[in-house]
Amino acid sequence: MTNFLEQTFNGLVSGSFLALLALGLAVIFGLLRVVNFAHGAIYMLGAFGAYVLADELGLSFWAALIAVPLGLAVVGVVLERAFIHRLTRLDPLYNFLLTFGLTLILQDLVKARYGVQSSPYAVPSALSGSVDLGLFEFPAYRVFVLAMSVAICVGVWALLTRTRIGMVVRAATERPELTRAFGIDVGRWITPVFGFGVALAGLAGVLAAPMRAVHPLMGADLIIVVFAVVVIGGLGSIFGSVAVGFVIGVLQVWAEAYAPESWRALIAQTLPFLLMAVVLLWRPAGLFGREETA
């Protein structure tokens, strides 16, 4: 039983990354109707940002945790103004292709500069120990990742439901025309929201650097799972994306640990996509999505 709880907790930790990435994607899709394929590459840039700041400027993990998302938010704003903004009036496929192209360019730029081998990054010394959680001990860094991710998801939820900005963004997400008809300038929120979504991906990247291989393609496989998460949750549904992110994290770990022995790896790997297929057949708008936004 203890082991089961330990594994479940561990699943929540790996779900943290899915949730943070899905949250950013959902916020961006909600307001811009853009499926940002470059989200995985931004996650990778976040991890590399932490590595470069440590390696070349000697900055700590904590500094990177603030500086990298801010820096990437600026990158996001520039990308939105320079490219994405020009294509939003066309078929969504154009921006999908644009961000896919950006992904390839970003990956290759990082490869050209830092090579294809993984770059070293250590767990911050303050979090290198273990925490006693009552039933079991767990690496402190993992507990921190989970706490951080939950705090951010709750923070974004509070921002959206308790503030005026959040109200405008939610209204513009659900009924863009009607919101405009009320005289609200939806357009001015587009660029900051895109920058914010990108910053979340960058933050997830910084959090990943101490526990995962910092590699030019680290986001390429992950982003496909995140897309499945967002589709299952319902495109544009912020709550759905976050919840499904954590759930998929846990289900994958359960599959790896408890599925019939010879099927474990296969089930863990295909589970997000099997669920996606089932959900699409049963509720095409996703579990928490609304028909008209789908």
> In angstroms, what is the minimal distance from the CB of 28 to other proteins?
23
Q: Which CB, 19 or 34, lies closer to other proteins?
A: 19
Which one of 139, 166, 176, 192 is in contact with other proteins (CB under 8 A)?
Answer: 139
**279 neighbors 220 (Cβ within 8 angstroms):** no
Instruction: Report the alpha-carbon distance of residue 84 to residue 107 in Å, rounded.
Output: 19
Report the phi/psi class of residue 120: left, alpha or beta, with left for phi > 0 and alpha for psi in -120 to 50.
beta
Residue 103 within binding range of other proteins, rule CB under 8 A: no
H-helix segments, the chain: 2-32, 39-57, 61-79, 85-87, 92-114, 140-162, 164-174, 176-181, 187-208, 218-233, 238-258, 264-282
Q: Which CB, 14 or 99, lies closer to other proteins?
A: 14
**107 neighbors 44 (Cβ within 8 angstroms):** yes
Residue 147 within binding range of other proteins, rule CB under 8 A: no
Span from 23-31, 61-69, 110-118, 162-170 in contact with other proteins (CB under 8 A): 110-118
Q: DSSP label at 132?
A: E
Residue 264 within binding range of other proteins, rule CB under 8 A: yes
Residue 60 within binding range of other proteins, rule CB under 8 A: no
Span from 57-65, 77-85, 199-207, 266-274 in contact with other proteins (CB under 8 A): 266-274
Q: Which CB, 195 or 210, lies closer to other proteins?
A: 210
Structure token pair of residue 139: 């690496």
Which one of 67, 75, 77, 123 is in contact with other proteins (CB under 8 A)?
Answer: 123
Residue 16 within binding range of other proteins, rule CB under 8 A: no
User: Residues 6 or more apart from 187 whose CB is under 8 A from it?
Assistant: none
Q: Which CB, 116 or 159, lies closer to other proteins?
A: 116
Residue 10 within binding range of other proteins, rule CB under 8 A: yes
Which one of 3, 60, 161, 163 is in contact with other proteins (CB under 8 A)?
Answer: 3
Angle 218-233/39-57 helices, nearest 10 degrees? 140
Q: DSSP label at 135?
A: S
Residue 63 within binding range of other proteins, rule CB under 8 A: no
User: Residues 6 or more apart from 24 whose CB is under 8 A from it?
Assistant: 36, 39, 196, 197, 198, 199, 200, 201, 204
Backbone φ and ψ of 72, nearest 5°: -70, -30
- Binding residues for other proteins, total number by CB under 8 A: 38
Residue 100 within binding range of other proteins, rule CB under 8 A: no
What part of residues 196-235 is at the interface with other proteins (CB under 8 A)? 208, 210-213, 215, 217-218, 221-222
> In angstroms, what is the minimal distance from the CB of 155 to other proteins?
25
Q: Kindly list the residues in this chain that would bind other proteins in the complex (CB under 8 A).
A: 3, 6-7, 10, 13-14, 111, 115-120, 123, 130, 139, 141-142, 208, 210-213, 215, 217-218, 221-222, 252-253, 256-257, 262, 264-266, 268-269
